Structure 1
Amino acid sequence: MRTSRHNSPQVNAGSMADIAFLLLIFFLVTTTISMDKGINRKLPKPCPPNTECSEPINERNILRIVLNSKDEIFIEDELVTLPELKDIAKSFLDNNGDDSCTYCNGKGLSFLSDNPKKAVISLQNDKLTSYNFYISVQDELTKAYYELREVYTKDVLGKTAITVTDEDIAAVKKAYPFILSEAVTK
Structure 2
Amino acid sequence: MCLKEDRMTDQSETFPPRVICRVLDIPQGTLATWADRGYFANFDAAFAERGKARLFSRKDVLALALIKCASTYGVLTSEISSFAPMAAEAVLHYGPNIRELIIRQYEGESSATSIRYNDDVMADPPEADAVVTISLNLTHIFNKAMKALDQEVANRAASIKMETRLEEVDPTLTSISRVFKG
More strand by share: 2
Q: Is TM-score (shorter-chain normalized) higher than 0.5?
A: no
Q: Which of the two has greater helix per residue?
A: 2
Give the TM-score category using the shorter length.
under 0.3
Q: Which TM-score applies when normalising by structure 2? A: 0.24
